[in-house]
Structure 1
């Protein structure tokens, strides 16, 4: 159960690092929303994350850890696609200057980017507590420290791959292509979970692990 979860998370970190690298370029350079616009867009993810974390436990108990995590990881590439639509909604126009001077199409593009980030944060918040709880719940106590250190080290190593890759794609083909590629990587990460036994993971697995120990 942990093998597909670990592999999916490693791949996810590549896509996430790509998004983190390219999103500021899209907001600041392409849409020209300025530092305030970027802050508000990123704030949308924060609001979503708080709500997702709040509801995570209830969703996990009702639908099962595996189902919620698969749904959340499928939702994240879709959220990135919503952000990718922002330049299309802007119709070639850009912000620049103060927020009050933005044309209607730029406001619509801004709303699109905020919505995409909100959905992204909501999905991340929903899966985060469930993933951490599952990892720790099924791992023997004596191995938790080793498991956590190894998993986190590999996850951070994926950022070393994803961040330069996102920057290279954005430089060569533009932020839209780079973000679309990041969404494809995240979709692959979600499918790894969706086709694995982990999709049936539930709280009973944690109870069985406690009984065995």
Structure 2
């Protein structure tokens, strides 16, 4: 797309369809539950199981470690079966896993190794379900509607990000962390029922002359790492996940143990990212069309290495809380990148490769996250949480500078999108 064409009025709005809105509703419910359990499990580890930073890093690493083993296979599996039944089955398994964590905690039978084992199983399920989900959305909406479809999902995620932590903090403070985890289990059950009602037909599974597993894995990887703009984007995103994991693994522990903040206060602080994120995701499609996806993302991502530094500078007391809120508001601005990234990589990838493309990128994103989570917990236990978070900020700074100088900076959406 030329600069002149970006200034032309865009095509007429395209409806998103009933199937998309049911998927949107299901994702909203399960996302609320996920945000609730993410915070609840950390307080379950800290308060109930008396876990230290290293144990928290181990559990977080266990959740994402399956991507190192199954990540690339997930895309192939997702392309060989219907997306909808796979998503329903994944939600039902999520309900079972988090239900088990909550019930075992209430019974006093939960341990750190059990939590790690159960979240590992959940991570394996997530490998496949995320690959299916990201390639299912384009089947529910016209190609031209993809920017708006992903932007609305990102906006929803940011709204959930502002409501979920508050809900989680309230549940943990006034009921208990196990009850909060059970809320997530229930949300997966609701999501499964809603997805099962989607009536949008899926295209038939493509049965080529050869369905060799290794060949399919190579094809997906070649598409990502030989593409002029997807390659630098993927390398940056892998590094971004590593840097962010170094920060997020110890953030709640740091806020609770070093800044002496309770679950509700931590939830309220984390919710600030959702507030700014709603606005950022809302303006993302228009800015992406006007200035180009690459220019917008490479500009807004400079906040990624900045906000962790503000967190590190926080001290106990009202001033520290205010600094954390500012940091979270800055973090929320990266929601602008999130919706544009999904739109762009989906738009430039053929449908038959989308699940494998997403799985390839996710494998190294979340595989790196698993390793970084363990390293972050170890670094924090040896030298303190602030050192771990500063290391994450340094990685984010280098990654952002690399992306800014890469070919991705000139990336624009295809005309159809």
TM-based fold match above 0.5: yes
Q: Does 1:5 align with 2:216?
A: no
Unaligned segments of structure 1, at least 5 residues: 88-93, 95-105
Taking the aligned partners of 1:193 and 1:201, their CA distance within structure 2 comes to 11
Higher relative contact order (CA 8 A, sep 6+): 1
Shift of 1:43: 0.7
TM-score, scaled relative to structure 2: 0.44
SS at match of 1:202: coil
- What aligned pairs does 1:88-99 form with structure 2 within 5 A after superposition? 94=316
Equivalent residue for 1:31?
Answer: 259
Aligned equivalents of 1:175, 1:41: Cα separation in 2: 18
Match of 2:398 among 188, 191, 202: 188
Equivalent residue number for residue 303 of structure 2:
75
- Displacement of 1:162 after TM fit? 1.2
In 1, Cα distance between the equivalents of 2:399 and 2:409?
Answer: 13
CA contact (8 A) 1:80 1:117 kept: no
Which residue matches 1:48? 276
Deviation at 1:58, TM superposition (A): 2.0
TM-score w.r.t. length of structure 1: 0.84
Residue of structure 2 aligned with 1:146, choices 356, 360, 367:
356
* Counterpart secondary structure, 2:260: coil
Shift of 1:63: 2.3
Determine the structure 2 residue equivalent to 1:58.
286
- Structure 2 distance, partners of 1:76, 1:113, is 14
The alignment partner of 2:306 has SS state of helix
Distance 1:162 1:41 in 2: 24
Structure 1 residue 120 corresponds to structure 2 residue 331: yes
The structure richer in helix per residue is: 1
Question: For 1:149 and 1:176, how far apart are their aligned partners in 2?
Answer: 32
Contact kept, 8 Å, 1:166 with 1:178, in 2: the verdict is yes
Residue 26 of structure 1: SS of its match in structure 2?
A: helix
Q: Output the CA distance in 1 between the equivalents of 2:258 and 2:283.
A: 35
Cα distance between partner residues in 2 of 1:38 and 1:82? 16
Select the structure of larger CA radius of gyration.
2
Distance 1:17 1:194 in 2: 21
Taking the aligned partners of 2:247 and 2:287, their CA distance within structure 1 comes to 26
Question: CA contact under 8 A between 1:73 and 1:187: conserved in structure 2?
Answer: no
Provide the aligned length of Structure 1 versus Structure 2: 189
Query: How far 1:141 moved relative to its partner?
Result: 2.3
Consecutive unaligned residues of structure 2, counting only runs of 5 or more, are 1-228
SS of structure 1 residue aligned to 2:249: helix
Tell me, yes or no, if structure 1 residue 110 matches structure 2 residue 321.
yes
Q: How well do the aligned residues superpose, as a CA RMSD in angstroms?
A: 1.6
